[in-house]
Structure 1
Amino acid sequence: MSLQFTILLIGLLLFTAVWTTKLSSRLNIPALLIFIALGMIAGSDITGFIRFDDAELAQLLGTVALIIILFEGGLQTAWKEVKTELSPSLSLATFGVFIATTIVAVASHYILGFSWANAFLLGAIVGSTDAAAIFSVLSGQSVRRKVGSTLELESGTNDPMAVFLTVFFLEFVTNPKEASLVSGLTSLVWEMVIGLLLGLFIGWIASTLLNRIDLSSSSFYPILLMSFAFLSFGIADTIHASGFLAVYVTAIYISNHELVYRQTLVRFTMSMAHLAQIGMFIVLGLLVFPKQLLDPQVILSSIALALILIFIARPVSVWLSLLPFKYSWQEKVFVSFAGLKGAVPIILATYPLVAGIDNAGMIFNIVFFTVLLSTLIQGSMLTFLADRLHLNDTGSSAIQTVIEFMSIGKPNAEIIELTIPNSHPFVGKAIMDIDLPQEFLITAIIRDDQIVTPRGDTLFEGRDQLLLLTPKHRIKTLKRFLFPKTP
């Protein structure tokens, strides 16, 4: 394939991927399924435009994409809002993953006839939830904060456990004589603890440096920020700690401390994360050969494992992991059904391919098919399930920055956007009657997709979107004024 045609094809794939996100919204299916489908269509078995079968390169590209996605997810995590769900999330990310792995392993042993080592390897690959899928699906949901925070923290922190179990059982397959449970557990503790500490340390360095350094152009700040994501993973992985955990913790630390050009940096990482998701799923789609997926054994085995994973392994792991914590049965049902699989299991499925073990191709195809079924069934039903379980959080109103003023120095003012809930005390009152401090200015009101010019006698209505000009250091004061019960 010529260089010119390759570049043209990349442009067409990206263009198509972006436009098909509208289709995914209308059909209520996760966009990642469409991205994977684009990769499969462009691959060897269908159109043959791109011939790609390099599992090692796919693993590398997938890891780079996951670093960006996890980093962006951490930057979107408000520690004050999610810290109360840390313990249950870690329970899901550790014990939950192990329980799900065990159940799938038992099923694989008896359904596929795999050896116990191979069965546990397959269980470890599909045992964890996927951060990319969770962040993507929850971004369009108004799920109750407690449930959303639990799922986000779980998906952001369970990668170390999934990677550890995959590598651990792969060692039992390739070199059973030297594999040791004691050394494995020691390695897990090292990976988790050092990954956490390293993430905090690099997060402190990043936030300190970003706020103090005076770069010649503001356009360099996003690049500097992103460099810390790769430094976190690279340093952690070099010393055999968990790189994924280090990246996630680094981002959370940065997000929850003062940060120059915050909104500009966050929007940059959001765009990078979307690009990473599109590229990663297209590459993983290219790695699949659809003709192999049509093997009856692959189809029947994948359907059986997917159903066991969705309706047995995930619910059992969730209910046992959350047993010590106060979650309603509705919340447990939703968390159980929201255990989406995505890029992480597919990337982990490349480990056996790279190692060249027996049944590696079959394991990869089964994992891929299982992920597709899981994402299609669970991802498309979450909105309906949240509504039926009454877990939609329609009364909350988060403050979001719309415009951040960029100047030669550091930004000192922002235009923020907030939505007034129907139950807010301002509803029915005029602007002149709310005694808004002079340092805050309502610049516009968006009502029913129309812009209303604010005047003294303008009455507030429920679901009004307010655009307010505020000094940056007074945002918390404004939040306390508008929502006095908000912590």
Structure 2
Amino acid sequence: MENQLVGLVAIVVLGVFAQWLAWLLRMPSILFLLALGILMGPYGGFIHPEEMLGKSYLPIVSIFVGIILFEGGMSLKWRELRENNRAILQLISFGMIITWILSALGARWILGFSLSMAFLLGAILVVSGPTVVAPMLHHIRPQGKTGSILKWEGIVIDPLGVLLMVLVYEVLLVGGFQESLSLLTITIIKTLLVGSLFGLLGALILIIGMANYFIPDHLESPMAIMVVLGILGASNWFQAESGLFSVTLMGIILANQKLIPIQRILEFKENLRVLLLSMLFILLTSALSINSLYQIQWDGLFFLVFLIFLVRPLAVYLSTLGSDLTWKEKHFLAFLAPRGIVAASVASIFALELSHKGFSEAHLLAPYVFLVIFGTVTIYGLLSPPFARFLGLSHPNPQGILFIGAHSVVRELAEILKEEKIPLLVADTNPYYIHKARINGIPGYLGNVLWEEALEEMDLSGLGKVLAFTANDEVNTLACMHFRDIFGRANVYQLSPEKERNQGEFNPNLQGRILFQEGLSLEKIRELKNQGYIFKKTHITDQFTYQDFQDQHQNQAIPLFLLDTKGNLQVISKDEKPDFEGKVVIALTPPAAKGKNEHEKEQEQEKEKS
């Protein structure tokens, strides 16, 4: 009993520790999860999942995967499918079949698997890794359609891939294709029918319950989990392995309906997904056999190269023929297909069941799948970002700014930043403000940035920081909370709240970083502008130091931004002490600064002489 408790605690601790380590080192968490799982399981012998959980091991894995796929389904929007429906449908149909056949042939020729086992391994490897793809896309931020296409492919192909795996598994057990043709047809129809009915039923239960206030706010997330697990179990009871399709469809329906808010469910599910994903990878990898790991030879690496550099490109190029994708977009799609948790869990389940049924090659399924997972995540994680930049679909260190607000103060600041080639986007609900910005060549988004549709409609490529610049302190705080997960907590800023009327109203942990200096609200900036203050650029050098600059302005200049010689933009906030030497400072300067200072005149005279 105590050993089981220690083992379960170790799974949670190691999983969360791996996530933290990955965040600290800015690397994919799956690499550390796999490494720790193998170290503590096959090599260390400290964790034995099958002994700890017994017959509950496989059902627990299925429950974890179901919740993860439900959370993934809630991130899919019909708008993305309508805009890229042809490419997405081709990838999850023709692309899946091409991947399956080529992967099976590779397993047969390179790994020496029997034909039946090779086609099962090929079916397992058609699924992508949405839990890995999403962080990669978040890091790369590709331009154009590729991001939404990869997100849809990664999530939708998982339940379809599981259906394909079940069909191949059934053929394997029956012993031939001809004998099981009728069984396959019935299985496909029943899985799609049962999965669709239960997915719709689960979504309706939550929608009706929440829309009619039968579910209190504090029980929304627990009730959602209850319904997900109920639908998963009921669907699987009527038709084996249809539950994953049901919960994915349920998540997609909830994400696209307009009758109930789902923000609380989304936030809870996201945190739960991280915990479940961490535990699941530790469980699966620690259950591997040390003997099966030792049987992986150089042929495994050749198989990995075959999948990455031949199978995936051919699947993308052939399945997207006739689509409106550019060649650059096709190249990027062809070089991003990491495998993830679904492949790992299904491979572990099938390997265990087939081993019990006497299939001699079954014990090799999981090790080769985990090799593919580790290899694809490593190679795609390291090479996809620079490859996207090479294709011109991504920026390595986005310096652009998203301004929340487009009033005259923002437009004036944006004009100065535009001169320095800083990518910009201003967002406001005022049509006049957006019209004025667009006339001046500043991209503008007309709408509420807190709307769910806003993230889909705004082009955030090249943008790396958010500046909440409205007169409404509540809106500024909400905007920072909204964009924190996308841009990172260190890159969301807001103006200082009005202390006179908002003292103590805001939790500092919910706010963005305070822009410029404490007390510099929009009202204060406008007051200074009315006094004659102006925005001005000044180059700080060894001859004209920052102290000289402040002396020139009676120590009343307020620095706002810094630009270094490489074009990197630094937003000045109250919580840091910037280094001004050798940089261009953009500041709010008092009326005395309207004329050129002596240093600027000397620089101009030197230029004229030269």
TM-score band by shorter chain is 0.7 to 0.9
1:21-420 map, 5 Å:
21-25=22-26, 29-43=27-41, 45-53=42-50, 57-144=56-143, 146-176=145-175, 179-215=179-215, 218-240=217-239, 242-258=242-258, 262-290=262-290, 292-295=292-295, 298-350=296-348, 351-356=350-355, 357-392=359-394
Match runs of 1:407-486 below 5 Å: 422-424=423-425, 441-443=472-474, 444=476, 445-446=493-494, 449-451=513-515, 453-456=520-523, 457=525
Q: CA deviation at 1:264?
A: 2.3
Partners of 2:64 and 2:276 within 8 A in 1? yes
What are the ranges of 5 or more consecutive residues in structure 2 without an aligned counterpart?
Answer: 405-417, 438-445, 449-469, 477-492, 496-511, 527-534, 536-559, 562-568, 573-610
C-alpha deviation, 1:185, in angstroms: 3.9
Amino acid in structure 1 at the alignment position of 2:109: Y
Secondary structure of residue in 1 paired with 2:515: strand
Which one-letter code corresponds to 1:147 in the other structure? Answer: T
Structure 1 pair 85/232, CA: closer, same or farther in 2 (3 Å)?
Answer: farther
* Residues 362 and 441 of structure 1, relative CA distance in 2, 3 Å threshold: same
Give the match for residue 415 of structure 1: none
In 2, the alpha carbon distance for the partners of 1:262 and 1:463 equals 36
The AA in structure 2 aligned to 1:22 is: W
Q: Cα offset for 1:149?
A: 1.2
Q: Is contact 2:87-2:323 (8 Å) kept?
A: yes
- What percent identity do the matched residue pairs reach? 24
Is contact 1:79-1:256 (8 Å) kept?
Answer: yes
| Residue identity in the other structure for 1:158 | I
Residue 71 of structure 2 contacts residue 270 of structure 2 at CA under 8 Å; is this kept in 1? yes
Cα pair 2:402 2:426 within 8 Å, conserved: no
Name the stretch that deviates more: 163-172 or 273-282. 163-172
One-letter amino acid matched to 1:9: A
Q: Residue 36 of structure 2 aligns to which amino acid in structure 1?
A: L
Q: In the alignment, is the contact (CA less than 8 A) between 1:99 and 1:317 conserved in 2?
A: yes
Q: Distance in 2 between matches of 1:318 and 1:208?
A: 41
SS of the residue corresponding to residue 424 of structure 1 reads strand
Q: Distance in 1 between matches of 2:402 and 2:249?
A: 26
Distance 1:93 1:158 in 2: 6
Query: SS in structure 1 opposite 2:102?
Result: helix
SS of corresponding position for 1:187 = helix
The one-letter code of the counterpart of 2:375 is L
Q: Deviations over 1:196-241 (max 9, x none)?
A: 45423432332222222244x5321111122232233233323327
Q: Distance in 2 between matches of 1:314 and 1:363?
A: 20
Deviations 1:353-382 (A, max 9, x none): 212222111222222212211121112322
- Cα separation, 1, equivalents of 2:117 and 2:401: 47
Q: How many Å apart are 1:284 and its aligned residue?
A: 1.1
Q: Give the length in aligned residue pairs.
A: 435
Unaligned residue ranges in structure 1 (runs of 5+): 400-419, 466-487
Structure ranking higher on relative contact order (CA contacts 8 Å, 6+ apart):
1
Runs of 4+ in 1 over 4 A off after TM superposition: 53-58, 393-399, 433-437, 442-445, 458-465
Q: Is the 8 A contact 1:293 1:369 kept in 2?
A: no
Contact 2:11 2:283 in 1 (8 A): no
Equivalent residues of 1:210, 1:225 under 8 A apart: no
Distance, in Å, in 1 between the alignment partners of 2:447 and 2:288 is 59
Which region of structure 1 is more displaced relative to structure 2, 81-90 or 266-275? 81-90
> What secondary structure is seen at the aligned counterpart in 2 of 1:227?
helix
Structure 1 residues 182 and 230: CA distance shift in structure 2, 3 A: same
The equivalent of 1:417 in structure 2 is none
Distance in 2 (CA, whole Å) between partners of 1:201 and 1:397 is 40
Q: Counterparts of 2:78 and 2:433 in 1: how far apart (Å)?
A: 35
Is the Cα–Cα contact under 8 Å of residues 90 and 157 in structure 1 kept in the other structure?
no
Using structure 1 for the length normalisation, give the TM-score: 0.78
Give, as a single letter, the amino acid of the residue that structure 2 aligns with 1:319: Y
Question: TM-score scaled by structure 2?
Answer: 0.64
**2:92–2:153 contact (8 Å) kept in structure 1:** yes
Which piece of structure 1 moves more, 234-243 or 64-73? 234-243
Q: Is the 8 A contact 2:403 2:427 kept in 1?
A: no
Cα 1:46–1:193 change in 2 (3 A) is same
Please name the residue that 1:19 is paired with. 20
SS in 2 for 1:340: coil
After superposition, the Cα gap between the structure-2 partners of 1:137 and 1:265, relative to the gap in structure 1 and judged at 3 Å, is same
User: Larger Rg: 1 or 2?
Assistant: 2
CA contact (8 A) 1:92 1:318 kept: yes
